[in-house]
């Protein structure tokens, strides 16, 4: 009887020791698993923003690249095109205004041509000639030559001004200068034609 009781007592102690050992092992396993889980969670939380950054950066770079692709052609076209910058059109407008002013005031070329015609007229009438012939050869031809030269400059000014006005996307100041050149050029051309054909001032005549 005592022997059986002793055996039961020893068996129960053995079970308690085994249960205690298993409990301690489970606690140690849980303690070891908790830092590992925290480490994994921390690594996951650190990797998540990095992954988001990696996922966001290509999108941002693509958007910036698209914006550059949209803007760059327009800027290059504006920089390389005379219509965008207005340099070529502005220069042509200024040239037309200058030519028209020269046509109205006269040129050194016109003066030289007029003096040449005067000299030729004097040579032709030196051997004799009527007064009307002398007036025509010495003075009339010189005046007509001056009108012809001024008319050529006026016509060039008018043509350049019209070409500038037909250009697309011209600045406002270029259009204003071109309009001024066209008006002055047209006026100079009108005066030159009238002077050449004696419409405004006729040659003087001698008394009969």
pLDDT tens-digit profile of 94-132?
A: 999 999 999 999 999 999 999 999 999 999 888 887 888
The alpha-helical segments, DSSP class H, found in the chain are 2-80, 82-85, 87-105, 108-125, 131-134, 141-165, 172-196
Q: What is the pLDDT of residue 207?
A: 63
Residue 56 in this model has a pLDDT that exceeds 50: no
pLDDT band at 168 (very low <50, low <70, confident <90, very high): confident
pLDDT in tens, 188-203: 999 999 999 999 888 8
């Amino acid at each position: 009887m005592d022997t059986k009781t002793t055996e039961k007592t020893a068996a129960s102690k053995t079970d308690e020791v085994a249960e205690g050992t298993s409990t301690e092992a489970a606690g140690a396993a849980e303690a070891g698993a908790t830092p590992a889980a925290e480490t994994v969670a921390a690594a996951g939380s650190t990797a998540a923003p990095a992954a988001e950054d990696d996922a966001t950066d290509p999108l941002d770079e693509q958007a910036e690249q698209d914006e550059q692709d949209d803007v760059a052609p327009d800027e290059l076209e504006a920089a390389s095109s005379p219509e965008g910058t207005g340099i070529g059109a502005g220069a042509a407008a200024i040239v037309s205004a200058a030519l028209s002013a020269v046509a109205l005031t006269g040129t050194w070329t016109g003066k030289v041509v007029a003096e040449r015609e005067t000299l030729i007229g004097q040579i032709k009438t030196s051997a004799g000639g009527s007064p009307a012939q002398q007036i025509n050869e010495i003075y009339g031809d010189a005046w007509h030559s001056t009108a012809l030269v001024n008319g050529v400059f006026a016509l060039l000014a008018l043509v350049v001004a019209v070409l500038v006005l037909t250009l697309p996307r011209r600045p406002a100041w270029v259009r204003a200068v071109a309009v001024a050149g066209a008006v002055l050029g047209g006026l100079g051309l009108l005066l030159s034609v009238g002077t050449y054909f004696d419409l405004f001032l006729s040659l003087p005549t001698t008394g009969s």
